[in-house]
């Protein structure tokens, strides 16, 4: 097989002193729509390796960018993989085109970079390494609202930015295995958004109670002690989830009885009497004691005693929940007043009072009703957006940590209402001004369609093969080369691609101040296992808290 010698003509290179020239490092061999091939010259690559500019020194390596001139335009491409050719004439690189920028006539510099390619190069076109100045042009933020989250790899000073409107308008997902700095990355991005938009409306569902520490200064923090979420905000489906314990055909029977009695109970309240078309789903206050009384009355109307089992089941469950102190944040007799307006104001930060984010710590919620609580919160966000369509818009961002718990895929599906409502927000939220942020360490456990609905994907290191394959499937074509480096990312590094960035980038995230960090640091066993003393007191305090369920 005959190998072409690589002829590289001189071209003035920006960043180089006047009079100096930098040679190209190879030439285009084959051009195809998504993947094209370039033949690189090993000698030229060796010469680059000691370059003072870290971006130039990376030239020709996997994950780096190269540029080629077509007419008066510089095309930028990303190197996906490298292979040594048989005759050792050169190194074949497979590349993906990222975008193009105009060439300045006199200096050869690139400006006005944009995503996508209008003209492809012809085979034989000379390839050059990308310099720091080019990177700065590629990642220069135009006038759109943006937040800077870190430094673009491999440069030391080019800032990577997220375009807020594009990122929130089409949802985003933050993925990464345990211990890669996912919570800190989430806190960093949310802090930056809060700084940019002090009058924002962000609701964060925090299942482990990590984020309260990070948002003390600019967030409203709710947990079981002060959430005070009225039980009557639940719709019928959520009532069934909490009150109906039976399975199969009995479940249908119990649900029908509950529907009838719940409608009657809602109709007894003052608010309910004013509504002509009252339904079981209307968020209208009712008394739990009314509901149990109506169930008892209905049971009394039965002809023979044999049919009373479903009524007894419902009544017993409702009484049990009423008496259980763990449920008092939601099912206490104090919550019967019509407090819906106040609840929405507190949770959605309307007005925000300079605290645009509300952290809802559901770690103290009994595990049987956690998903019902999250379902109510997510549905309140969505329903509020639907019913406020003719009002001045107040878009809301709903951030869901450990999202795979609430939107599980078919294999782990438990048919809970929270998966349905979050799936619905993912599909339709954009039309109503609801944005969804999903944070998860197991993207492969997420429901199928949800990840592909996220316009921006922020991927930190993923150790599991199946997770990596899953993220790849959800990513746009041009970003595939970046994704191959997901297993090789360092802590606090991430790859961002999709709507929120101009072109896919690999970013080293900024460090957060201590006070803004979530409480999720790993224990240092080697240090902690050298300490002793005071164990009796520790155990005593723990048992006291354990027995009184945190009170």
Parallel, antiparallel or unpaired: strands 357-361 and 219-222:
parallel
Predicted local distance difference test score (pLDDT) of residue 398: 92
Q: Which domain holds residue 250?
A: 234-328
Identify whether 207 is part of a domain.
yes
Look at residue 544 and tell me if it is in a domain: no
| pLDDT confidence of residue 511 | 85
In a domain, 369, yes or no: yes
Distance CA 233, CA 242 (A): 13
Q: Output the pLDDT for position 303.
A: 63
Per-residue model confidence (pLDDT) at position 403: 87
| Domain final residue pick, 301, 328, 355 | 328
pLDDT attached to residue 35:
67
pLDDT value, residue 479 = 67
Confidence at residue 437, expressed as pLDDT on a 0 to 100 scale: 92
Note whether 101 and 73 are within 8 A (CB): yes
Same domain, 125 and 180: no
Q: Is residue 156 part of a domain?
A: no
How far apart, in Å, are the Cα atoms of 451 and each of 21, 418, 442, 473? 47, 16, 11, 9
Q: Is residue 11 part of a domain?
A: no
**Cα–Cα distance between 91 and 60 in angstroms, integer?**
9
Are residues 475 and 430 both part of a single domain? yes
| Alpha carbon distance 179, 441 (integer Å) | 10
Three-class secondary structure of residue 38 per DSSP: strand
Indicate if 205 and 73 belong to the same structural domain: no
> Do residue 226 and residue 285 come from a single domain?
no
Beta bridge partners of 220: 358
Claim to verify: residue 344 and residue 310 sit in the same structural domain: no
Query: Does residue 51 form part of some domain?
Result: yes
Does residue 542 contact residue 208 with C-beta atoms inside 8 Å? no
DSSP class per residue in 122-181: PTT-EEEEPPHHHHHHHT---SS-EEEEEEETT-SSPEEEEEHHHHHHT-EEEE--TTSS
Nearest to 204 by CA among 349, 377, 419, 399: 399
Q: Are residue 225 and residue 239 in the same domain, yes or no?
A: no
How is residue 114 annotated by DSSP?
A: E
Look at residue 462 and tell me if it is in a domain: yes
Which of 297, 328, 359 is the last residue before a domain boundary? 328
- Distances 41 to 5, 94, 144 between C-alpha atoms, Å: 9, 14, 40
What does each of the 551 residues of the chain score in pLDDT, given as a tens digit? 455 444 444 444 444 433 223 468 888 888 886 668 888 888 888 888 888 887 888 777 777 888 888 888 888 888 888 888 776 678 888 888 888 888 887 777 887 888 778 888 888 888 888 888 888 877 776 777 888 888 888 778 888 888 888 888 889 999 988 878 888 889 999 998 888 888 889 999 988 888 888 888 888 888 888 888 888 888 888 888 888 888 888 888 888 888 888 888 888 888 878 888 888 888 888 888 888 888 888 877 776 655 778 888 888 888 888 888 888 888 887 777 778 888 888 888 888 777 888 999 888 888 888 888 899 999 989 999 888 888 888 889 999 988 888 888 776 666 678 888 888 888 888 888 899 999 998 888 888 778 888 888 898 888 888 888 888 887 766 666 677 777 778 888 888 888 888 778 888 888 888 778 887 667 778 888 888 888 889 899 899 888 876 55
Do 241 and 221 belong together in one domain?
A: no
Measure CA of the first residue to CA of the last residue in the chain; give whole Å: 79
Same domain, 438 and 502: yes
Confidence (pLDDT) at 12: 44
Look at residue 9 in the predicted model and tell me its pLDDT.
Answer: 44
The residue ranges of DSSP E strands in 73-139, in sequence order, are: 73-84, 91-103, 110-115, 126-129
Whether residues 130 and 175 share a domain: the answer is no
Q: How many domains does the chain have?
A: 3
Whether 243 and 225 share a structural domain: no
Q: Give strand pairing partners of 457.
A: 173, 497
Cβ atoms of 52 and 65 within 8 Å: the answer is no
Residue 478 has a pLDDT of: 62
CATH code for the domain of 403: 3.40.50.300
Decide which of 295, 328, 361 is a domain's last residue.
Answer: 328
pLDDT at position 60 is 78
Note whether 197 and 344 are same-domain residues. Answer: yes
pTM: 0.83
Q: Is the N-terminal amide bond of 205 cis, ω within 30° of 0? A: no
CA distances from 140 to 56, 96, 113, 278, 493 (A): 18, 21, 8, 55, 20
Contact (Cβ atoms closer than 8 angstroms) between residue 229 and residue 285? no
- Side-by-side strand order, sheet with 219-222: 159-163, 146-152, 505-509, 493-498, 456-459, 172-175, 434-440, 396-401, 202-206, 357-361, 219-222
Residue 496, both tokens: 């961002």
Q: Is residue 536 part of a domain?
A: no
Same domain, 171 and 35: no
Q: Which of 51, 29, 56, 55 is nearest to 40 (CA)?
A: 29
Torsion sign, CA atoms 168, 170, 171, 172: negative
Q: 265 in helix, strand or coil?
A: helix
Quick one: tokens of 174? 């933050």
Structural element, H or E, at residue 36: strand 36-40
């Amino acid at each position: 097989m005959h190998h072409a010698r690589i002829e590289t003509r001189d071209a003035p290179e920006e960043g180089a002193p006047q009079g100096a020239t930098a040679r190209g490092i190879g030439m285009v061999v084959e051009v195809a729509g998504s993947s094209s091939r370039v033949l690189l010259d090993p000698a030229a690559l060796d010469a680059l390796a000691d370059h003072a500019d870290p971006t130039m020194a990376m030239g020709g390596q996997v994950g780096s960018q190269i540029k080629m001139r077509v007419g008066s335009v510089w095309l930028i491409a990303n190197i996906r993989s490298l292979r040594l050719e048989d005759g050792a004439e050169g190194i074949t690189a497979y590349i993906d085109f990222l975008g193009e920028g105009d060439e300045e006539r006199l200096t050869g510099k690139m400006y006005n970079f944009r995503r996508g390619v209008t003209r492809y190069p012809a085979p034989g076109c000379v390839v050059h390494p990308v310099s720091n100045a080019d990177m700065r042009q590629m990642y220069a933020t135009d006038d759109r609202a943006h937040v800077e989250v870190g430094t673009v790899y491999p440069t030391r000073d080019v800032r990577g930015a997220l375009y807020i409107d594009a990122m929130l308008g089409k949802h985003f997902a933050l993925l990464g295995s345990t211990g890669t700095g996912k919570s800190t990355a989430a806190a960093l991005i949310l802090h930056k958004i809060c700084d940019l938009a002090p009058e924002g409306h962000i609701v964060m569902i925090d299942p482990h109670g990590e984020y309260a520490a990070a948002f003390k200064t600019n967030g409203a923090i709710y947990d079981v002690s002060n959430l005070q979420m009225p039980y009557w905000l639940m719709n019928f489906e959520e009532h069934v989830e909490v009150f109906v314990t039976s399975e199969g055909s009995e479940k249908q029977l119990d649900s029908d009885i509950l529907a009838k009695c719940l409608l009657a109970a809602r109709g007894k309240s003052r608010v309910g009497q004013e509504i002509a078309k009252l339904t079981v789903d209307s968020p209208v206050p009712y008394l739990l004691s009314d509901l149990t009384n109506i169930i008892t009355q209905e049971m009394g109307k039965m002809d023979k005693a044999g049919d009373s089992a479903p009524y007894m089941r419902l009544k017993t469950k409702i009484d049990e929940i009423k008496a259980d102190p763990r449920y008092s944040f939601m099912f206490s007799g104090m919550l019967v007043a019509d407090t819906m307006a106040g609840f929405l104001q507190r949770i959605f930060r309307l007005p925000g009072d300079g605290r645009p984010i509300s952290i809802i710590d559901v770690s103290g919620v009994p595990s049987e009703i956690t998903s019902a609580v999250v379902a109510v919160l997510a549905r309140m966000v969505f329903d509020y957006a639907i019913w406020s369509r003719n009002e001045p818009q107040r878009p809301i961002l709903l951030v869901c940590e450990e999202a795979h718990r609430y939107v599980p895929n078919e294999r782990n599906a438990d048919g809970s209402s929270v998966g349905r409502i979050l799936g619905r927000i993912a599909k339709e939220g954009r039309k109503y001004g609801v944005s969804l942020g999903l944070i998860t360490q197991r993207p492969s456990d997420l429901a199928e369609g949800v990840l592909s609905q996220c316009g921006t994907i922020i991927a930190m290191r993923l150790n599991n093969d199946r997770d990596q394959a899953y993220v790849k499937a959800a990513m746009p074509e041009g970003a595939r080369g970046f994704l191959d480096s997901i297993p090789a990312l360092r802590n606090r590094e991430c790859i961002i691609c999709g709507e929120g960035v101009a072109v896919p980038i690999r970013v080293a995230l900024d460090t957060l101040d201590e006070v803004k960090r979530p409480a999720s640091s790993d224990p240092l066993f080697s240090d902690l296992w050298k300490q002793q003393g005071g164990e009796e007191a520790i155990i005593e305090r723990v048992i006291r808290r354990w027995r009184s369920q945190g009170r």
